[in-house]
Amino acid sequence: KMSGREEFAGRWAFILAAIGSAVGLGNIWRFPYIAYENGGGAFIIPYLVALLTAGIPLLFFDYAIGHRFRGSPPLSFRRLSRWTESIGWWQVLICLVIGVYYAAIIAWAIMYTWFSTTKAWGDDPATFLTQEHLQVAEDVAPNLDIVPGVFWPMLVVWVIIILVMGFGVRRGVAMASLISIPVLVLMFLVLVVVALTLPGATEGLNALFTPNWAALADPGVWIAAYGQIFFSLSVGFGIMITYASYLKKRTNLTGSGLVVGFSNSGFEILAGIGVFSALGFMAQASGVQIADVVESGIGLAFIAFPAIISEAPMGALIGVLFFGSLVLAGFTSLISILEVVVSAVKDKMGWGRWTTVLVVVGLSAVVSLAMFSTTSGLNLLDITDAFVNSFGIVGAALVSVLVVAAVLGLLDRMVAHLNSVSSFRLGALFKVMVGVIMPIVLAYTFLSDFIAKLNDGYGEFPAWFVNTFGWGMVLSLVVLAVLLSLIPWSKKSNLHQEH
């Protein structure tokens, strides 16, 4: 063996860990309303096009980099070329930022699993969420007024994460998915079956799946499809590079990628069915249109669902299954995001697993609690999420595709590498997708979002807040990524090793 890099026990451990990363909050609460708002049944077309032309090719692309160069993103990109190391650090920083707020959402879901048993929100879940559960302050400025009902579950989340990650790739990271994915699938299937039996479920499904073909002429719908695919597959920002770096030398990469890609989409469709059956019930029970009960994002899970749970037969069961699924799906995704940071620091400094986890995840926990367990947490989470998604994820994917495919002309080497180890072989079509289609789609998405935020700001937030925590945050990450690439590597990291 050339290095002591940790490894997955086998291909299935890797596939399960990759599915654990991909299946997350995005499947359960993001896909259903994105599909509904963007053409309903007709959305399946841009969605599949995005999956096949960008999602799966980008997944292969990440696998190729991670497996070929066998390192965390900074190390892999450093081995690729001295000049691209900062791309890897940019991805690491994006993961760090997402990780610190993702933990808060998991903590809320833990509390709501419990709240479901007593329907603690009474008959006004919206007020309950902002006033009682999160105790959102009037003033958007960050403060340190801790909300105990958020702080304690967050602390529990972080302690569990530290323990699991400390056990390493095989006994921690892979084991977490091995246990939670089957439980999650089972729980969610039961949830879908229960939801399908609710009165009004059919109308809900009709609302989701009735195609609005006119939507296909709207470029916004196509952008939404590509955006959903990038976020949902966890591609383009380092996670899949990291996981692929833990694979043995001969591993069927493309075959695994297809399993991961289609499992993730399968789970999205399933979630769409479950969520819209429940929404159909709610609309019927309150005598309104489906459109009046659909909420997006946090509101769907933490306002619309509580209302359903209060009304539905077997409501408590639905609540425990729904929020329990969010918790499980969120945990394995959070582990995958933080593993990017842990592996990068471990490679750079040459520290051991426990030291790195205690330092990196411990510090993340402190920042996470200070920012998101306070009465200013919700607004900070909102702005961070918006900017990190628009510029971080899409920006990271754009830069890595442009630099690797277009500037460095490495696509041929990547394809050769994938084909040398895999069952499903790639050819010219793959190169066209990664080298032509993806840069265009990503650049268009990036620029349109950039211009929109530049012109309109974000939400109702005051300009100073958007400038500091939106633009300021993104800019400081860019600077930090460059600075980190200047720190020398530990002697233990051989900068020239490849598979």
Query: Which residues would be at the binding site for ligand PHE (CB under 6 A)?
Result: 21-22, 24-27, 98, 231-232, 234, 239, 333, 336-337
Residues in binding contact with Na ion, number by CB under 5 A: 5
Q: Among residue numbers 260 through 299, which ones bind Na ion (CB under 5 A)?
A: 264
* Integer CA distances (angstroms), 434 to 58, 427, 428, in order: 7, 11, 10
Using alpha carbons, select from 4, 163, 170, 164 the residue that is nearest to residue 71.
4
CA distance 482 to 393: 17
Rounded to the nearest whole angstrom, what is the least distance from the CB of residue 357 to ligand PHE in the complex? 18
Residue 21 binds which one of ligand PHE, Na ion, none, with CB within 5 to 8 A depending on kind? ligand PHE
Q: Indicate the residue type of 182.
A: P
Rounded to the nearest whole angstrom, what is the least distance from the CB of residue 480 to Na ion in the complex? 27
Residue 53 binds which one of ligand PHE, Na ion, none, with CB within 5 to 8 A depending on kind? none
For the chain, counts of helices (H) and of strands (E): 27, 0
Nearer to ligand PHE, 14 or 351 (CB): 14
Cβ–Cβ under 8 Å, residues 369 and 103: no
Nearer to Na ion, 27 or 53 (CB): 27
> Quick check: 181 binds Na ion (CB under 5 A)?
no
What is the x/- site pattern for Na ion, positions 213-232, by CB under 5 A?
-------------------x
**Options 22-30, 175-183, 286-294, 431-439: segment touching Na ion (CB under 5 A):** 22-30
Nearer to ligand PHE, 266 or 352 (CB): 266
> Quick check: 26 binds Na ion (CB under 5 A)?
yes
DSSP 171-238: IIIIHHHHHHHHHHHHHHHHHHHHHHTSTTHHHHHHHHHSB-GGGGG-HHHHHHHHHHHHHHHT-SSS
> Quick check: 50 binds Na ion (CB under 5 A)?
no
Nearer to ligand PHE, 177 or 284 (CB): 177
> Quick check: 27 binds Na ion (CB under 5 A)?
yes
* Integer CA distances (angstroms), 117 to 17, 95, 310, 475, in order: 31, 34, 10, 44
Rounded to the nearest whole angstrom, what is the least distance from the CB of residue 299 to ligand PHE in the complex? 17
CA distance 499 to 494: 13
* Integer CA distances (angstroms), 350 to 72, 365, 455, in order: 12, 22, 45
Pick the binder of Na ion from 18, 22, 205, 300 (CB under 5 A).
Answer: 22
Q: Which two tokens stand for residue 77?
A: 């990109």
CB within 8 Å of 192: residues ≥ 6 apart: 270, 273, 274, 277
Using alpha carbons, select from 187, 13, 80 the residue that is nearest to residue 485.
80
Rounded to the nearest whole angstrom, what is the least distance from the CB of residue 28 to ligand PHE in the complex? 8
Rounded to the nearest whole angstrom, what is the least distance from the CB of residue 380 to Na ion in the complex? 24
β-sheet bridge partners, residue 318: none
Nearer to ligand PHE, 347 or 385 (CB): 385
Residue 336 binds which one of ligand PHE, Na ion, none, with CB within 5 to 8 A depending on kind? ligand PHE
Nearer to ligand PHE, 367 or 407 (CB): 367
Rounded to the nearest whole angstrom, what is the least distance from the CB of residue 340 to Na ion in the complex? 16
Nearer to Na ion, 264 or 356 (CB): 264
Contact residues: Na ion, CB under 5 A:
22, 26-27, 232, 264
